[in-house]
Amino acid sequence: SVVAERILQRRSLDMRNRQQDWQESSEGQKMQEFRRSLPAYKEKEALLHAISRNQVVVVSGETGCGKTTQLPQYILESETEASCGAFCSIICTQPRRISAMAVAERVAAERGENLGDSVGYKVRLEGMKGRDTRLLFCTTGILLRRLLVDRNLQGVTHVIVDEIHERGMNEDFLLIVLKDLLPRRPELRLVLMSATLNAELFSSYFGGAPMIHIPGFTYPVRSHFLENILETIGYRLTPYNQIDNYGQDKMWKMQKQALRKRKTQIASAVEDALDAADFKKYSPRTRESLSCWNPDSIGFNLIEHVLCHICQRERPGAILVFMTGWDDINALKDQLEAHPLLGDPSRVLLLACHGSMASSEQKLIFNKPEGAVRKIVLATNMAETSITINDVVFVVDCGKAKETSYDALNNTPCLLPTWISQAAARQRRGRAGRVQPGECYHLYPRCVHDAFSDYQLPELLRTPLQSLCLQIKSLKLGSISEFLSKALQPPELLSVQNAIEYLKIIGALDEDENLTMLGKNLSMLPVEPKLGKMLILGSIFNCLGPILTVVAGLSVRDPFLMPFDKKDLAESAKAQFSAREFSDHLALVRAFEGWKEAEKEQSGYEYCWRNFLSAQTLKAIDSLRKQFFHLLKDIGLVDDIESCNQWSHDQHLIRAVICAGLFPGICSIVNKEKSVSLKTMEDGLVLLHSLLDPKLDISSHDDLLSVVRFLVSQDQCEGRFVFGRQMPTSLQKAKIGEQTGTLSVGGGHNSKSQLQTLLARAGHQPPMYKTKQ
């Protein structure tokens, strides 16, 4: 072991020499200079001092001041400088995969090293980490997973939890576990980092831990709310002189028409937005339902106009547009690319910022474009805090973000565009003032902004706790409700009880709240229990292929595109896939399989185009499928691709596995002669959630039946419903895959808006039910 130690010392010496060379190179010098220019650098000594004297330190500072990239490096440098080869092992968690990867890459580059030398990363099913890695960026989930096998984090010297202000479920969970761990590991150091200033909350949670604020400098940002935007942009719509900018005669005519059309479109978008102006008067309940009202109303055309306005009238500077999600970003990007000005690559560099960005794309986002080209970046709320684009001068804020929400009463999660908080709006605004005074265009009236909540509700208080409960159990952290009561802001008891009850019903916990075999397996799968159960059953029953597609599809996003101007066409394209099986899930399977076939013949894109499918999403599903397969193989549930697909052609079996996964969120439609009823095994009565549509009272059984009748007549029986009550427990014996259809409950994925569309199309008077033969 003396020899081993020598070798280790030698290696670290080599590495240090290499680093010195880099630091002396001109590139290295420039990088050093940049690093020293960051606000965090001035606080370096104070930070290191506080960390050495206290077990827990809370660090806050304006986004971009150098918390994420610098602080872990300061610790690394001070530890390695302190004494030759002093050992340190720093783990820095990030809420998102992309930030863990991007930050690791950036930090390695700042140090002139390869990724995987002293700096590495690890995210779900992927990583880059070597023997000499001392600073590891990982997702919060990865650290939790490590705690599963290594309760005391043996060998780790520093844990840095980044972006704690986001209050994700995993982060809140991690804090409880770490708080528990600290007394057992007195030499372990914990640093909490946050962008906005609610540091007191975290400090007092850790018994008054010292807080260090990194003062940053941002330029003032002027806010424009919808009222002002209309004044500046709305009026400029009418005079055609603006069109001269586009030149040519023919273009002029087309533009005139387009502008007219757009003007009416814009008017309706504005009307929608102004409808929301009465926002403040609504009760919290209605406000909640308003929050999922008309996701299209962020108004692509309005955004287009604002962007045009900036490009034509304003000074140079990049534009950052906050959108709700990837689908929106793609759709908007398509629209803008068709625009004569915004789609002209010699004048505008249009970029989308997303989770699976290649690093070449990333560089484009961070770099200043050449010459007079204006950079426009379309991003989700990820660009609020975890990444910083320096040259942004203009921010366009749609006011919404996708958020998983959960109501303890109906026990169904859904991912919906929701109004952001005032803190988030402030954060978005702040992005415009990095290099010079900026402008922020909020696409909603000021009164809507004033009605935003101060902070976003922590995820722990708004999402189902099922996966979390499994983790608590597999980490052997004792009673679930007792453990969760120690959270920073503990969830409602009802939500906790619901989750425990659910896990008992699906057989993951026994009566005494102990993990069953199923529960153990589920806790090893990084998906919701219902999806995990599908994977496990799919492996056991050797029909894994289609199940992998379903689960991957449900965990990525729906690959079926619904462009709002071609909704009917898109829906009929989708219906082709589900016509035979009456199932959304199986439609996904068929669409995916069709795509794989088309890919073989190099016609994947054409296939997607024809069928309103997103090639990008299908690719993501494909890669996730592979990852799930390897995971199942690692756990020992499957051997090889052939044997686990022996029964993959058996539609009945597949439906059974899907239903078993969704259980108890299912019920059966019973067709009798001319009547149809919706039955659960015990009480047979199913209520639709009244929140489905505040204007329609569809809470009565009869109303529900008319919906069901309509759906059945449309051959759409699966994946369409959200129910008001949790299903009773005794559905295990429900016959599945027979002529009686199956309805799944919850699952988000637009069920609400789909149902609303269906209801609207049915004119609320669904056609008579036709008995299917």
Q: What does the alpha-carbon distance between residue 632 and residue 636 come to, in Å, rounded to a whole number?
A: 6
State the alpha helices, DSSP H only, in 636-688: 651-662
What b/e sequence results for 696-710 when a residue is b if at least 16 CB atoms lie within 10 Å of its CB, and e otherwise? bebeeeebbbbbbbb
495 binds, among Mg ion, ligand ADP, none (CB under 5 to 8 A by kind): none
Find the shortest distance in angstroms from Cβ 162 to Mg ion.
6
Out of 12, 66, 290, 496, the only residue in the binding site for ligand ADP (CB under 6 A) is 66
CA dihedral in degrees (399, 404, 408, 411; nearest 10)?
Answer: 140
Find the shortest distance in angstroms from Cβ 215 to Mg ion.
16
Find the shortest distance in angstroms from Cβ 106 to ligand ADP.
4
- What are the residues whose beta carbons fall under 8 Å from the beta carbon of 83, sequence distance 6 or more? none
- What are the residues whose beta carbons fall under 8 Å from the beta carbon of 154, sequence distance 6 or more? none
- Name the percent of the chain in helix, strand, coil, to the closest 5: 50, 15, 35
Residues 335, 300 contacting (CB under 8 angstroms): yes
69 binds, among Mg ion, ligand ADP, none (CB under 5 to 8 A by kind): ligand ADP
Q: What does the alpha-carbon distance between residue 492 and residue 257 come to, in Å, rounded to a whole number?
A: 55
282 binds, among ligand ADP, Mg ion, none (CB under 5 to 8 A by kind): none
Find the shortest distance in angstroms from Cβ 215 to ligand ADP.
12
* Binding piece for Mg ion, criterion CB under 5 A, among 67-75, 321-329, 334-342, 439-447: 67-75
Residue with tokens 């990007």: 333
For ligand ADP, the closer of residues 109 and 182 by Cβ is 109
Out of 102, 303, 632, 691, the only residue in the binding site for ligand ADP (CB under 6 A) is 102
Find the shortest distance in angstroms from Cβ 62 to ligand ADP.
7
For ligand ADP, the closer of residues 59 and 547 by Cβ is 59
Helix (H, G, I), strand (E, B) or coil at 139: strand
61 binds, among Mg ion, ligand ADP, none (CB under 5 to 8 A by kind): ligand ADP
CA dihedral in degrees (214, 215, 221, 226; nearest 10)?
Answer: 50
Out of 12, 19, 68, 139, the only residue in the binding site for Mg ion (CB under 5 A) is 68
**Per CB under 6 A, 70 contacts ligand ADP:** yes
The amino acid that residue 731 corresponds to is L
For ligand ADP, the closer of residues 107 and 727 by Cβ is 107
Find the shortest distance in angstroms from Cβ 428 to ligand ADP.
14
Helix (H, G, I), strand (E, B) or coil at 378: strand
**Per CB under 5 A, 60 contacts Mg ion:** no
For ligand ADP, the closer of residues 67 and 224 by Cβ is 67
Find the shortest distance in angstroms from Cβ 41 to ligand ADP.
10
* Binding piece for Mg ion, criterion CB under 5 A, among 40-48, 59-67, 440-448, 467-475: 59-67
Residue 290: which H helix or E strand, with range? helix 284-290
Find the shortest distance in angstroms from Cβ 214 to Mg ion.
11
| DSSP state for residue 372 in the 8-state scheme | T
Residues 534, 551 contacting (CB under 8 angstroms): yes
Q: Per-residue x/- mask for ligand ADP, residues 121 to 150, rule CB under 6 A?
A: ------------------------------
* Binding piece for Mg ion, criterion CB under 5 A, among 63-71, 171-179, 309-317, 615-623: 63-71
**Per CB under 5 A, 381 contacts Mg ion:** no
* Binding piece for ligand ADP, criterion CB under 6 A, among 57-65, 135-143, 496-504, 701-709: 57-65
* Binding piece for Mg ion, criterion CB under 5 A, among 65-73, 147-155, 249-257, 439-447: 65-73
Q: What does the alpha-carbon distance between residue 753 and residue 761 come to, in Å, rounded to a whole number?
A: 12
Q: Per-residue x/- mask for ligand ADP, residues 468 to 507, rule CB under 6 A?
A: ----------------------------------------
For Mg ion, the closer of residues 68 and 495 by Cβ is 68
Out of 44, 50, 51, 64, the only residue in the binding site for ligand ADP (CB under 6 A) is 64
Helix (H, G, I), strand (E, B) or coil at 104: helix
**Per CB under 5 A, 466 contacts Mg ion:** no
Q: Per-residue x/- mask for ligand ADP, residues 582 to 621, rule CB under 6 A?
A: ----------------------------------------
For ligand ADP, the closer of residues 139 and 744 by Cβ is 139
Q: Which two tokens stand for residue 590?
A: 């068929």
Residue with tokens 């599963």: 148
Q: How far is CA 141 from CA 81, 144, 181, 545, in A?
A: 31, 5, 17, 26
Q: What does the alpha-carbon distance between residue 481 and residue 468 come to, in Å, rounded to a whole number?
A: 11
Rounded to 5 degrees, what angle do the CA atoms 411, 414, 420 make?
Answer: 120
Q: What does the alpha-carbon distance between residue 743 and residue 752 come to, in Å, rounded to a whole number?
A: 14
Out of 12, 60, 68, 753, the only residue in the binding site for ligand ADP (CB under 6 A) is 68
For Mg ion, the closer of residues 67 and 533 by Cβ is 67
Q: What does the alpha-carbon distance between residue 747 and residue 731 come to, in Å, rounded to a whole number?
A: 18
β-pairing, 158-161 vs 189-194, is parallel
Q: Which of 401, 662, 465 is nearest to 547 (CA)?
A: 662
For ligand ADP, the closer of residues 6 and 36 by Cβ is 36
Q: What does the alpha-carbon distance between residue 740 and residue 745 come to, in Å, rounded to a whole number?
A: 16
Find the shortest distance in angstroms from Cβ 320 to ligand ADP.
13
For Mg ion, the closer of residues 383 and 637 by Cβ is 383
Q: Which of residues 380-439 bind ligand ADP (CB under 6 A)?
A: 388, 390
Helix (H, G, I), strand (E, B) or coil at 341: coil
Helix (H, G, I), strand (E, B) or coil at 612: coil
Rounded to 5 degrees, what angle do the CA atoms 147, 153, 157 make?
Answer: 140
Q: Which of 770, 769, 707 is nearest to 743 (CA)?
A: 707
Out of 41, 366, 455, 647, the only residue in the binding site for ligand ADP (CB under 6 A) is 366
Find the shortest distance in angstroms from Cβ 560 to Mg ion.
35
**Per CB under 6 A, 67 contacts ligand ADP:** yes
**Per CB under 6 A, 353 contacts ligand ADP:** no
Residues 763, 706 contacting (CB under 8 angstroms): no
Find the shortest distance in angstroms from Cβ 389 to ligand ADP.
7
State the alpha helices, DSSP H only, in 300-388: 300-313, 326-337, 359-366, 382-385
For ligand ADP, the closer of residues 26 and 346 by Cβ is 26
**Per CB under 6 A, 61 contacts ligand ADP:** yes
Find the shortest distance in angstroms from Cβ 640 to ligand ADP.
40
Instruction: Say how many C-beta atoms besides its own lie within 10 A of residue 378's C-beta.
Output: 25
Q: Per-residue x/- mask for ligand ADP, residues 22 to 51, rule CB under 6 A?
A: ----------------x-------------
Helix (H, G, I), strand (E, B) or coil at 285: helix
For Mg ion, the closer of residues 163 and 328 by Cβ is 163
Find the shortest distance in angstroms from Cβ 489 to ligand ADP.
24
Q: What does the alpha-carbon distance between residue 268 and residue 272 come to, in Å, rounded to a whole number?
A: 6
Residues 701, 685 contacting (CB under 8 angstroms): yes
Out of 12, 19, 60, 63, the only residue in the binding site for ligand ADP (CB under 6 A) is 63
Helix (H, G, I), strand (E, B) or coil at 56: strand
Residue with tokens 């806790």: 523
Task: Tell the burial category of 236 from Cβ atoms under 10 Å away from its Cβ (0-12, 13-18, 19+).
Answer: middle
For ligand ADP, the closer of residues 12 and 69 by Cβ is 69
**Per CB under 6 A, 60 contacts ligand ADP:** no
Binding site for Mg ion (CB under 5 A): 67-68
What residues make contact with ligand ADP under the rule CB under 6 A?
38, 61, 63-70, 102, 106, 366, 388, 390
